[in-house]
Amino acid sequence: MASFLTLLIAGCGAPTNKESEEKSSTEEFADLGEEEGFAEKHDEPKEIEDNFEGNMISIAVEGGDSANVYHLKNQSETNKYLFVIHEWWGLNNHIKREADKWFTELGNVNVMALDLYDGEMATTREKATELMQGADEERIQKIIDAALAQLPSNAKVATVGWCFGGGWSLRTALRAGNKTAACVMYYGMPVKDVERLKTLNSDVLFIYGTQDEWINEEVANNFEENMKAANKEVKIMAFDADHAFANPTGEHYLEDAAMEANQAALEFIKKRM
């Protein structure tokens, strides 16, 4: 079973009256880039052959430049969509390969891997830190909304993402409103505002490694408590692994843990789509 990454988005934009909270959750994760040892936990990505099933497309964004999306369209008509959110490296070949795998394994879905960095990618930790910390909240929200606007009114959306993308998987699910069917977060920073979480239309699968110093048991427990307070369901899966353990291009990759996590994520999404 290959290692995956996905992301879920749906067709109608969620309310935007909690932007200050949303920013705090992203900025909190971005601040980790300054903490000793955080960058070193991210192995610089290995080169992957540029040979993929999907295509890069451009979508119009209100009030700004068009956005980039790696797109896989099912040959049969389907109202099911998976949104994949990249790590702090950007929409690189690893994420495209993961999108291909999810497309194959899920079957009757369309996949959209969003480029939240507008074409920029990092191959070094220093550049990745710069891109993550310089990410424009308003621009990212507009990219997500533009992608959701591409979907039919009856769309069912699932989201998946890792690290930086793990946090944005949840926030995409929130913005997708009642189209959201499932959300998977791999070691991402959760939204903490209970009132905001009350607007979530799906269950969440939250995956992390117990050796992770930052997205750790405390973060997982707090998220579980907040989801319970919001009367929402979250499934927590913890593995004896470090941060980024599900990325097969890194030295912290643990195949057994990644395979189990990926299978659980696949089943989680299939059941809800």
CATH of the domain at 75: 3.40.50.1820
12 located within any domain: no
How far apart CA 130 and CA 244 sit, in angstroms, is 19
7 located within any domain: no
How far apart CA 115 and CA 57 sit, in angstroms, is 11
30 located within any domain: yes
> Domain range spanning residue 244?
19-272
13 located within any domain: no
Q: Is the pLDDT of residue 81 over 90?
A: yes
14 located within any domain: no
pTM score, whole prediction? 0.88
Largest alpha-carbon pair distance within the chain? 49
How far apart CA 140 and CA 147 sit, in angstroms, is 11
Number of domains in the chain: 1
pLDDT in tens, 151-206: 999 999 999 999 999 999 999 999 999 999 999 999 999 999 999 999 999 999 99
Nearest Cα neighbor of 203 from 159, 259, 253 is 159
Nearest Cα neighbor of 251 from 40, 20, 38, 79 is 40
pLDDT in tens, 211-270: 999 999 999 999 999 999 999 999 999 999 999 999 998 888 999 999 999 999 999 999
How far apart CA 33 and CA 91 sit, in angstroms, is 19
pLDDT in tens, 16-49: 444 445 555 667 767 776 666 676 667 677 777 7
Q: Tell me if residue 139 falls in helix, strand or coil.
A: helix
4 located within any domain: no
138 located within any domain: yes
Q: Is the pLDDT of residue 13 over 90?
A: no
What token pair was written down for 13? 């934009």
Residues in the chain: 273
* DSSP letter string, 28-55: HHHGGGGSTTTGGGSPPPPP--S--SSE
3 located within any domain: no
